[in-house]
Structure 1
Amino acid sequence: MIKKYFLLLWISFLASSYSYGQLITEQKDLMEVSDEVNLSSPYHTTLTFFYNLEEENFHPDKAAKTFNLKGAETLNGNQLSVKLKQIFEGKGVIIRTSSIPNEQNYRDTLSGSDQIFYFDRTKLPGVFLEKTGNQWMFSSFTVGQINSLHRETYPYGTAKLLDLLPKIGNEEYLGFHLWQLVGFLILIFLVFLSHLVFTFLVDKGLLYVLKRLGYGYIGENYLLPIARITSFYFIVLLLALFLPVLQLPTEIWAWIIVIINTLKPLLITVIFYKIVDVIAAYFSKLAERTESTLDDQLVPLIRKTLKAFVIIIGTLFVLKEGLNLDIIPFLTGLSIGGVAIALAAQDTIKNFFGSVMIFLDRPFQVGDWITSGDLDGTVEEVGFRSTRVRTFRNSVMYIPNGKIADATIDNHGLRQYRRFYTTITITYDTPPELVEEFVKGLRAIVTSHPKTRKDTFHVYFNNLSSFSLDIMFYIFFEVPTWAEELECRHEILIQIMKLAETLEVRFAFPTQTVHMETFPEKKSLSPEYDSDIKRYQAKLGQFMQEELRKKEN
């Protein structure tokens, strides 16, 4: 990693050396300026200012004559001229004489045809030339802003290095002064040192503390990647703070500024992108504590939405801060285009808001059995556009959320109790006493079963049909799933059959019976019942004792 940083910085170093000589070649016309100060046009004022601040021809007093010091006579013009040149270099503003108007009566059409000239409205909006009388000079507003702009360009006391580093020596090597090379090496050392220190504090310090607290997994998988990206961000801030002090050639420094200003929002975007994973992990833990499964499905959707939001906002900041693009027209275009897109994608938008309503109202959750018209199945996934339902034929149905939001949903998964209703038919020749005891036995089966609702059930002899005596059997099971309901039905029906067998009750079915007189040599096919009710009560008691004994065992 260290070798890679050193190689990249050395390439930038060589590129700066080459471009510096190229820039000097482009500015040879400055040497042709006479000793007299010429302020007749923006072009001549600019040449006068920068020419008199060159090392070979350093006359800050002549450069200071380009300032309009009206109202600021107490300021030191020589120091202000040097500071202004350092501001141009620190901000990476490239001055090309070919682009400066050479007209005495030049007017800026972007400023209401005022006689002013801006060097760079984006980087230095407060620095401009203004025609005063017959001369073009740096405006009094610009003069008043120089000290504050200088502190902004070289913050946290780094401006003092501009005076200290040149004292190391001005000998030139590879197109650079000795003090620039020394400063460059010191900066490389500081970058490596800060990276090593930060890595040590995070890997050995923060991670160690998290492991001791029992959060080692979170530290290694979530916080450590964020900390490493943050260390790169601090390195970029360090470079942005100290590189302007080295006074690199303006053309190269202008490109470096673009790279640094691009890396800042880019790294912040990556940091927040990683933070979204931490937030999603926290919400996942919260979702695991709830019984609902819909929030388990909601967490991935929130993570994807937040990441998309971070990427969009980060891209806008990269365009604005790094590439100096005006994003207002871009946003305006998006708003206008958004109307057209919204009209063309009405169904998609409707489905999106339908999914929002599903997550807010929670009419069902993953795993619920729902029915709605032809829809009948178990919910498997709820997305932003559609809901996936697994039918009982094992096929998969995708239903747009917009339709689900407007439909009537019967959610069987939200039932607290599951109803079981059937009619038990017995033969007409069953005596009333036996019917009564059989009904009592049915009720006892319901009350003794562990998963039936005891406060509400109905078991009555309630109908005389064409071929049977009908007993209504209406109960509820306290079970959450259909499989458990089927199991309870099975248990109840088996108990009913055992009860009927014990009491010798016969179940009726649609038949036609022809009754004939009883012949001496042959008995009737109809059963003969005992009219003694005590006998039936004894049989019922014996049945209940056997069932109780089976449960105890």
Structure 2
Amino acid sequence: MRFLTIALIFLCFFAGQSSFAQLVSDDNALDEINYDVNLTTPYHTTLTFFFNLEDNNFKPEEAAKALNWRGMEDADKEDLSVKLKQIFEGRGVAVRTSQIPNEPGYLDSLAGNEPIFYFDRQKLPGIFLSKRGEEWKFSSFSVGEIERMHRETYPYGTARLLNLLPKIGTDKYFGLYLWQIIGLGILILFVFLTHWVLTFLVDKVLLYVISKLGYGNEGEKYLLPVAKVTSIYFIVLLLSLFIRVLQLPIEVWSWLVIIFMVLKPLMITIIFYKIVDVVAAYFVKLALKTESTLDDQLVPLLRKTLKAFVVIIGTLFILRDGLSLDIIPFLTGLSIGGVAIALAAQDTIKNFFGSVMIFVDRPFQVGDWITSGDVDGTVEEVGFRSTRVRTFRNSVMYIPNGKIADATVDNHGLRQYRRFYTTITITYDTPPQLVEEFIKGLREIVLAHPHTRKDYFNIYFNNLSSYSLDIMFYVFFEVPTWPMELQSRHELLIQIMKLAETLGVRFAFPTQTLHMESFPEKKELSPDFSQETEESYKKKLGAFLQQELGKKQ
């Protein structure tokens, strides 16, 4: 706001040193022109029109002769002539006499060699001179567009101020009319007042309402910056509407028009740039509600992508609307250059789309243990170009997303159950009744453990190997991480060892047995099961279950 105020004060001083002629003459044309109407060339028609609308030589009836009134004979010619000049002024079009052709047979090569002349194709696309007979005049099409373009140039009733303000006074002070000085003062006061009102609404009212809704921190961090920039945009918008009513010198106003035309798309770009932070904060909250950690990586990438998109689009609008540059050749050049860049950066583009597929399909997320070819480790970060995996050697592997998107990925982190399969080997001298009771005890251990799958497991005596009786132990753990799986394995194996010790079951290992006659003074190594019965095995199993697993028989 201070910058706008200083600019207005500087404008007052600069305007006082300038001429108020709409026509910017580079060759003393205004001094040489006489009062006769001369329409022989675009140059003389332009001089005739603007000279007869100057304050010190105001003859709108003479200026109206430079317009083609075909089909509009009953129109208020003097009023439309004045409005046409106001359109030039309001849109900041400086008509330079040195750039106007002074040839009766002038042809516009950009318009198919037609006898027409455009003053400014960007700012005044519908206003041009055309030759009719031997005379150059503002075309009948241009005359028909005057009312519409005047409303667009001075919208929301500001056109009424063009007639009201000069009634305040036409005395000159420091090169400015009295009504212009008063108008500038009112405009500066209006800027300060509008800034104060919008600041109050944003800092007090808006923040109070947001706090009452329970979003005080979010509002102050994200919404308040957007509201402040938006309030400044409205001030710039209102200032650009009302300052043109002051009819400032074209040398000044033509530059101010460019400044305002650049400021408006620039402010809108900044607004959307900050809105991206609001959108990103909303997605952060959504990501926190999901179990997936991939969303947490996606939000920062989404924020950066949207901000880059806003900056690119905003720059194009500034170039087109603010600086009146034709961006079509620029976009065409980008498309041709884009093909060349795409051919030179195929791997980069492939990796980018690979990252898109990872975010869409979600084959894994941050924290998952994955295996893919030589890759075996935990996912730490998923970027736009590569995925970072921490191996179990504590090294870091960077895998291009294009490669990992095409590869087969085994995601151990998405397992609902973690399988545990082993073979329990016992010695051949174990009686069948003891094997039965031992297997029953193994099943009870699985059922009693808090993290095993109860609806599906397999524990059977399933093989007679060369040195042992083999019992298949096939169970699943319902745990989220590998350390918890290892802890559950540890607990099961400890219980199995205790059960074997209680029942007297010996685990087998690769051995060779040499049979010898027994010696009376030596005790045999093999356990004596002759005195054991099936009933005694059941008693031992019951005691184990009651003591270790807390089950009643």
Q: TM-score, normalised by structure 2?
A: 0.96
> 2:154 corresponds to which residue?
154
CA spacing shift, 1:473–1:237, aligned 2, 3 Å: same
Tell me the distance in 2 between the aligned counterparts of 1:25 and 1:70: 30
- Partner SS, residue 20 of structure 1: coil
> 1:433 corresponds to which residue?
433
> 2:525 corresponds to which residue?
525
Tell me the distance in 1 between the aligned counterparts of 2:18 and 2:402: 61
Question: Does the aligned pair in 1 maintain the 2:27–2:98 contact within 8 Å?
Answer: no
Which range is displaced more, 73-82 or 475-484? 73-82
- Partner SS, residue 194 of structure 1: helix
1:375 maps to 2:396: no
Which range is displaced more, 541-550 or 16-25? 16-25
Q: Report the alpha carbon displacement of residue 516 of structure 1 after superposing the two structures with TM.
A: 2.6
Could you give the per-residue CA deviations for residues 81-139 of structure 1, whole angstroms, max 9, x where no partner exists?
21111111111111111111111111111111111111111111111111122111111
1:78 maps to 2:78: yes
Q: Report the alpha carbon displacement of residue 359 of structure 1 after superposing the two structures with TM.
A: 1.6
> 1:292 corresponds to which residue?
292
> 1:7 corresponds to which residue?
6
> 1:114 corresponds to which residue?
114
Tell me the distance in 1 between the aligned counterparts of 2:408 and 2:429: 48
Q: CA RMSD in A?
A: 1.8
Tell me the distance in 1 between the aligned counterparts of 2:522 and 2:108: 130
> 1:546 corresponds to which residue?
547
CA spacing shift, 1:350–1:170, aligned 2, 3 Å: same
Could you give the per-residue CA deviations for residues 321-361 of structure 1, whole angstroms, max 9, x where no partner exists?
00001111111111111111111111111111111211221
Q: Report the alpha carbon displacement of residue 263 of structure 1 after superposing the two structures with TM.
A: 0.8
Equivalent runs, 1:149-548 vs 2, <5 Å = 149-529=149-529, 530-548=531-549
Tell me the distance in 2 between the aligned counterparts of 1:548 and 1:392: 35
- Partner SS, residue 66 of structure 2: coil
Question: Does the aligned pair in 2 maintain the 1:130–1:138 contact within 8 Å?
Answer: yes
1:17 maps to 2:16: yes
Q: Report the alpha carbon displacement of residue 512 of structure 1 after superposing the two structures with TM.
A: 3.1
Identity percentage of aligned residues: 71
Q: Report the alpha carbon displacement of residue 399 of structure 1 after superposing the two structures with TM.
A: 0.8
Which amino acid in structure 2 is aligned with residue 51 of structure 1? Answer: F
Tell me the distance in 1 between the aligned counterparts of 2:194 and 2:39: 48
Which amino acid in structure 1 is aligned with residue 172 of structure 2? Answer: E
- Partner SS, residue 107 of structure 2: coil
Tell me the distance in 1 between the aligned counterparts of 2:26 and 2:293: 70
Question: Does the aligned pair in 2 maintain the 1:40–1:104 contact within 8 Å?
Answer: yes
> 1:65 corresponds to which residue?
65
Tell me the distance in 1 between the aligned counterparts of 2:19 and 2:500: 107
Question: Does the aligned pair in 2 maintain the 1:31–1:51 contact within 8 Å?
Answer: no
Which amino acid in structure 2 is aligned with residue 195 of structure 1? Answer: H
Question: Does the aligned pair in 2 maintain the 1:21–1:175 contact within 8 Å?
Answer: no
Q: Report the alpha carbon displacement of residue 7 of structure 1 after superposing the two structures with TM.
A: 2.2
Runs of 4+ off more than 6 Å? 21-25
Structure 1, unaligned runs of 5 or more = none
Tell me the distance in 1 between the aligned counterparts of 2:320 and 2:511: 89
Which range is displaced more, 292-301 or 100-109? 292-301
Which range is displaced more, 162-171 or 235-244? 162-171
Tell me the distance in 1 between the aligned counterparts of 2:11 and 2:504: 102
Which amino acid in structure 1 is aligned with residue 297 of structure 2? Answer: Q
Q: Report the alpha carbon displacement of residue 75 of structure 1 after superposing the two structures with TM.
A: 1.4
Q: Report the alpha carbon displacement of residue 441 of structure 1 after superposing the two structures with TM.
A: 0.9
Q: Report the alpha carbon displacement of residue 19 of structure 1 after superposing the two structures with TM.
A: 4.2
Tell me the distance in 2 between the aligned counterparts of 1:548 and 1:395: 42
Question: Does the aligned pair in 2 maintain the 1:453–1:477 contact within 8 Å?
Answer: yes
Which range is displaced more, 320-329 or 173-182? 173-182
Which range is displaced more, 226-235 or 141-150? 141-150
Could you give the per-residue CA deviations for residues 432-469 of structure 1, whole angstroms, max 9, x where no partner exists?
22222111111111111111111211112222222222
Q: Report the alpha carbon displacement of residue 428 of structure 1 after superposing the two structures with TM.
A: 2.2
Which amino acid in structure 1 is aligned with residue 14 of structure 2? Answer: A
Q: TM-score, normalised by structure 1?
A: 0.96
- Partner SS, residue 126 of structure 2: strand
- Partner SS, residue 95 of structure 2: coil
- Partner SS, residue 124 of structure 1: coil
Question: Does the aligned pair in 2 maintain the 1:376–1:392 contact within 8 Å?
Answer: yes
Tell me the distance in 1 between the aligned counterparts of 2:251 and 2:57: 21
Tell me the distance in 1 between the aligned counterparts of 2:20 and 2:309: 45
Q: Report the alpha carbon displacement of residue 313 of structure 1 after superposing the two structures with TM.
A: 0.8
Q: Report the alpha carbon displacement of residue 26 of structure 1 after superposing the two structures with TM.
A: 4.6
Q: Report the alpha carbon displacement of residue 21 of structure 1 after superposing the two structures with TM.
A: 7.5
Tell me the distance in 2 between the aligned counterparts of 1:436 and 1:550: 18
Structure 2, unaligned runs of 5 or more = none
Could you give the per-residue CA deviations for residues 130-177 of structure 1, whole angstroms, max 9, x where no partner exists?
112211111111112212221111111111111111111122222211
CA spacing shift, 1:292–1:162, aligned 2, 3 Å: same
